[in-house]
Structure 1
Amino acid sequence: MTVVLDIAENAARLADLNPSTAVSAASEAVRRAERDGDSAAASIAERAWGHSLVQCGELDTAIRHLRKAVDHGLAADSDELVSEARIRLAYALILRGRPKPALAEIDIALNSVRGDALPRIRAQRGAILVEIGRLDEALADLDCAVPYLRRIDDRVGLARALVNRGIVHGWLHDFAAAVRDLRESGQVSSALGRGLAVGIVEQNLGFVAALRGHVPAALDHLARAEQTIAEHGGQLAAVLQDHGELLLSVGLTSEAREFAERAIGACQEEQRRLKIPELRLLLAQIAFLDGDWQRSLRQADLALRGFSRQQRAEWTALARLARYRAKIALGQGERISLALVATMVGTLAGSGWPAAEVEGRVVAAQVSFLRGRRGQGGEQLRQAALARSRGPAAIRARGWFAEARLREENGDPRGAAGAARAGLRVLDEHATALGATDLRVHSAAHRVELTELGLRTALRDGRPAGVLEWAERGRASRLLHRPVLPAEDPVLAGLLAQLRSVAAEISLGRPSPAHRQLTLERQIRDHCRLHPPQSGGPPVEPVRPHQLGAALGDRSLVEFVQWDGIMHALTLVDRRLRWRPLGPVSPIDGLIERLLFALHRLPRKGPAQPAAAALLADAARRLDDLLLGQLPELGDRPLVLVPTGVLHSMPWSVLPSCLGRPVTVSPSATLWCAVSGAPVRPGRTVVVAAGPGLPGARDEALAVAAIHGCAPMVDGTATVDGVLAALAGAEVAHLATHGSLVTDNPLFSSLRLADGPLIAYDLERLPRVPHTVILACCDGGRSVVRTGDELLGLSTTFMGRSAAQLIASVVPIPDAETAPLMIALHRGIAAGRPAPVALAEAQQEMRDRSLADLAAAAGFVSIGGE
Structure 2
Amino acid sequence: MLSGMKPTPVLAQAHEALRRADVDAGRAAPEAQRAVRRALAEKDDVAASVAERAWGRALLQTGDVDNAIRHLRHSVELAETTGSSELAGETRIPLAAALLQRGKPDDALRNIDDAVRILDGAGKARARAQRADLLHQIGRLDLAQAEYDSAVPLLRRAADLLNLQRTLVNRGILHTERHVFAAAEADLTEAGELARRLGRRLAVGIIAENLGFLETMRGDVPAALAHLSRAEDAIGALGGQLGPVFSDQAELLLSVGARSEAAEAAQRAVAAFKRERRRLLVPGARLLLAQAAALGGDWTNALGHAQRAHREFVAQQREEWAALAQLVVLKAQLASSRRTRISSEQVESMVATLTSASWPAAALEAHLAAARLALARGERERGRAHLRQAGAASRHGPAALRARGWFARATLAWDTGNLQASSRAVRAGLRILDEHAAALGATDLRARSAAHRSELSELGLKLALRSGKPAQVFEWAERGRASRLAHRPVRPPDDPELAVLLAELRATVAEIDRAGHSAPKLRSRQSALERRIRDRTRLYPGDGAHRPVTPVKLAELELGDRALVEFVQLNGALHALSLVDGRLRLRALGAAESVAGLVERLAFALRRLAQRTGVTRSREAALMLLEQAAEALDRFLFSGIPEIGERPLVLVPTGSLHSVPWSVLPSCAGRPVTVSPSATLWHSAAARRDGALGRVAVAAGPGLAGARDEARAVAALHGVTPLVDDAATVEAVLDAVATADVVHLAAHGRLAVDQPLFSDLRLHDGPLVVHDLERLERVPRTVVLASCDSGRSVVCTGDELLGLSAAFMASGTVQLIASVVPVPDAETLPLMVEFHRALAAGNSPAAALADAQKSLRGSGLEALVAAAGFGCFGAGH
Tell me the TM-score normalized by structure 2.
Answer: 0.96
Q: Equivalents in 2 of 1:457, 1:234: separation in Å? A: 52
User: Does 1:519 pair with 2:528?
Assistant: yes
Post-superposition shift, 1:565? Answer: 2.4
Q: Equivalents in 2 of 1:54, 1:353: separation in Å? A: 29
Post-superposition shift, 1:115? Answer: 2.1
Equivalent residue number for residue 843 of structure 2 = 833
Q: 1:302 to 1:334 in 2, by over 3 A?
A: closer
Correspondence list, 1:184-333, <5 A: 184-332=190-338
Equivalent residue number for residue 684 of structure 1 = 694
Structure 1 counterpart of 2:535, one-letter code? D
Q: 1:596 to 1:117 in 2, by over 3 A?
A: closer
Mean CA deviation greater in 555-564 or 30-39: 30-39
SS in 2 for 1:562: strand
Q: Equivalents in 2 of 1:105, 1:290: separation in Å? A: 43
Q: Equivalents in 2 of 1:518, 1:441: separation in Å? A: 22
Conservation of the 8 A alpha-carbon contact between 1:481 and 1:536: no
User: Does 1:120 pair with 2:129?
Assistant: no
Q: 1:577 to 1:296 in 2, by over 3 A?
A: same
Equivalent residue number for residue 555 of structure 1 = 562
Post-superposition shift, 1:597? Answer: 2.8
Post-superposition shift, 1:362? Answer: 0.3
Structure 2 counterpart of 1:727, one-letter code? V
SS in 2 for 1:818: helix
TM-superposition CA deviations, 1:67-109 (whole Å, max 9, x none): 1222222233334322211111111111111112212211111
Structure 2 counterpart of 1:806, one-letter code? L
Q: Equivalents in 2 of 1:622, 1:88: separation in Å? A: 70
SS in 2 for 1:279: helix
Conservation of the 8 A alpha-carbon contact between 1:733 and 1:772: yes
Q: Equivalents in 2 of 1:29, 1:681: separation in Å? A: 85
Say which of 383, 386, 411 aligns to 1:377. 383
SS in 2 for 1:572: strand
Post-superposition shift, 1:278? Answer: 0.7
User: Does 1:574 pair with 2:581?
Assistant: yes
Conservation of the 8 A alpha-carbon contact between 2:489 and 2:810: no
TM-superposition CA deviations, 1:41-91 (whole Å, max 9, x none): 122111111111111222122112111222222233334322211111111
Structure 1 counterpart of 2:528, one-letter code? T
Structure 1 counterpart of 2:522, one-letter code? P
Conservation of the 8 A alpha-carbon contact between 1:484 and 1:536: no
Q: Equivalents in 2 of 1:655, 1:816: separation in Å? A: 24
Say which of 181, 186, 195 aligns to 1:180. 186
Post-superposition shift, 1:792? Answer: 1.1
Structure 2 counterpart of 1:261, one-letter code? Q
Conservation of the 8 A alpha-carbon contact between 1:483 and 1:535: no
Post-superposition shift, 1:416? Answer: 1.1
Post-superposition shift, 1:602? Answer: 3.4
Equivalent residue number for residue 631 of structure 1 = 641
Q: Equivalents in 2 of 1:482, 1:583: separation in Å? A: 36
Q: Equivalents in 2 of 1:325, 1:621: separation in Å? A: 40
Conservation of the 8 A alpha-carbon contact between 1:482 and 1:536: no
Equivalent residue number for residue 490 of structure 1 = 496
User: Does 1:401 pair with 2:407?
Assistant: yes
User: Does 1:21 pair with 2:27?
Assistant: yes
TM-superposition CA deviations, 1:362-385 (whole Å, max 9, x none): 001011112111000000000000
SS in 2 for 1:602: helix
Equivalent residue number for residue 537 of structure 1 = 546
Structure 2 counterpart of 1:289, one-letter code? L
Say which of 604, 622, 626 aligns to 1:616. 626
Conservation of the 8 A alpha-carbon contact between 1:19 and 1:232: no
Q: Equivalents in 1 of 2:544, 2:720: separation in Å? A: 36
Q: Equivalents in 2 of 1:276, 1:259: separation in Å? A: 13
Conservation of the 8 A alpha-carbon contact between 2:284 and 2:309: yes
User: Does 1:590 pair with 2:600?
Assistant: no
TM-superposition CA deviations, 1:495-528 (whole Å, max 9, x none): 0000000111111227663311111111111111
Equivalent residue number for residue 3 of structure 2 = none
Structure 2 counterpart of 1:272, one-letter code? R
Mean CA deviation greater in 275-284 or 477-486: 477-486
Post-superposition shift, 1:478? Answer: 1.3
Q: Equivalents in 2 of 1:639, 1:738: separation in Å? A: 29
Say which of 783, 787, 792 aligns to 1:773. 783
SS in 2 for 1:271: coil
SS in 2 for 1:630: coil
Say which of 515, 523, 531 aligns to 1:509. 515
Mean CA deviation greater in 383-392 or 608-617: 608-617
SS in 2 for 1:657: coil
Conservation of the 8 A alpha-carbon contact between 1:252 and 1:442: yes
Structure 1 counterpart of 2:638, one-letter code? L
Conservation of the 8 A alpha-carbon contact between 2:442 and 2:537: yes
Q: Equivalents in 2 of 1:199, 1:598: separation in Å? A: 54
Q: 1:649 to 1:679 in 2, by over 3 A?
A: closer
Say which of 66, 85, 89 aligns to 2:91. 85
Structure 1 counterpart of 2:856, one-letter code? M
Post-superposition shift, 1:484? Answer: 4.0
SS in 1 for 2:856: helix
Conservation of the 8 A alpha-carbon contact between 2:439 and 2:542: yes
Post-superposition shift, 1:592? Answer: 2.4
Tell me the TM-score normalized by structure 1.
Answer: 0.98
SS in 1 for 2:604: helix
Ranges in structure 2 where 5+ consecutive residues have no aligned partner: 1-6
Conservation of the 8 A alpha-carbon contact between 1:458 and 1:466: yes
Conservation of the 8 A alpha-carbon contact between 1:769 and 1:801: yes
Q: Equivalents in 2 of 1:370, 1:260: separation in Å? A: 32
Equivalent residue number for residue 707 of structure 2 = 697
Q: Equivalents in 1 of 2:689, 2:790: separation in Å? A: 24
Equivalent residue number for residue 871 of structure 2 = 861
Q: Equivalents in 2 of 1:354, 1:371: separation in Å? A: 26
Identity %: 56
Say which of 392, 412, 418 aligns to 1:386. 392
Post-superposition shift, 1:607? Answer: 4.0
Q: How many residues align?
A: 864
Conservation of the 8 A alpha-carbon contact between 2:492 and 2:537: no
User: Does 1:750 pair with 2:722?
Assistant: no
Post-superposition shift, 1:311? Answer: 0.9
User: Does 1:740 pair with 2:750?
Assistant: yes
SS in 2 for 1:734: strand
Conservation of the 8 A alpha-carbon contact between 1:286 and 1:296: yes
Post-superposition shift, 1:835? Answer: 0.5
Post-superposition shift, 1:483? Answer: 4.1
Conservation of the 8 A alpha-carbon contact between 1:432 and 1:481: no
Structure 1 counterpart of 2:833, one-letter code? I
Q: Equivalents in 1 of 2:333, 2:24: separation in Å? A: 47
Say which of 627, 642, 647 aligns to 2:652. 642
Say which of 717, 722, 739 aligns to 2:732. 722
Mean CA deviation greater in 621-630 or 573-582: 621-630
Ranges in structure 1 where 5+ consecutive residues have no aligned partner: none
Correspondence list, 1:414-433, <5 A: 414-433=420-439
Q: Equivalents in 2 of 1:521, 1:795: separation in Å? A: 20
Structure 2 counterpart of 1:602, one-letter code? L
TM-superposition CA deviations, 1:662-717 (whole Å, max 9, x none): 10000111111111131449670111001111111111111111111111111111
Conservation of the 8 A alpha-carbon contact between 1:485 and 1:533: no
Q: Equivalents in 2 of 1:545, 1:35: separation in Å? A: 91
User: Does 1:565 pair with 2:572?
Assistant: yes
Conservation of the 8 A alpha-carbon contact between 2:437 and 2:449: yes
Q: Equivalents in 2 of 1:23, 1:228: separation in Å? A: 20
Q: 1:292 to 1:487 in 2, by over 3 A?
A: closer
Post-superposition shift, 1:148? Answer: 2.1
Conservation of the 8 A alpha-carbon contact between 2:52 and 2:71: yes
Mean CA deviation greater in 46-55 or 111-120: 111-120
Q: Equivalents in 2 of 1:683, 1:675: separation in Å? A: 16
Structure 2 counterpart of 1:112, one-letter code? I
Correspondence list, 1:334-483, <5 A: 335-483=341-489
Q: 1:334 to 1:197 in 2, by over 3 A?
A: closer
Q: Equivalents in 1 of 2:43, 2:370: separation in Å? A: 63
Q: Equivalents in 1 of 2:266, 2:626: separation in Å? A: 45
